[in-house]
């Protein structure tokens, strides 16, 4: 019975180690993300991913084209 408990414990820690190695680490970025509202719909969009047209920010190309 003791052998079974030891084998199960070993397998448990081996599986946990394999999952940690194979799972990509989540980057720990502590930089704040700047959000702005889309000029067309008002949805919040990251400034670095927004579509910029004449100094105005949009969440998609479609919304940027509709405001022209």
Q: Does 55 reside within a domain? A: yes
Task: Report residue 33's pLDDT band, with 50, 70 and 90 as the boundaries.
Answer: confident
- What value does the mean pLDDT take over residues 27-32? 77
Q: What is the DSSP letter of 23?
A: S
By residue range, what is the domain housing residue 68? Answer: 32-68
Q: Does 44 reside within a domain? A: yes
Query: Looking at residue 48, what is its pLDDT?
Result: 92
Residue 11 φ/ψ, nearest 5 degrees: -65, -40
Q: Does 20 reside within a domain? A: no
Q: Does 43 reside within a domain? A: yes
Number of domains composing the chain: 1
Q: What is the DSSP letter of 68?
A: -
Q: Does 23 reside within a domain? A: no
């Amino acid at each position: 019975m003791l052998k079974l408990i030891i084998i199960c414990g070993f397998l448990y820690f081996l599986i946990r180690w394999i999952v940690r190695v194979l799972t990509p680490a989540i980057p720990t970025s502590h930089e704040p993300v700047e959000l702005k509202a889309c000029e067309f719909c008002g949805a919040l969009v990251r400034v670095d991913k927004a579509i910029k047209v004449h100094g105005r920010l949009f969440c998609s190309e479609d919304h940027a084209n509709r405001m022209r």
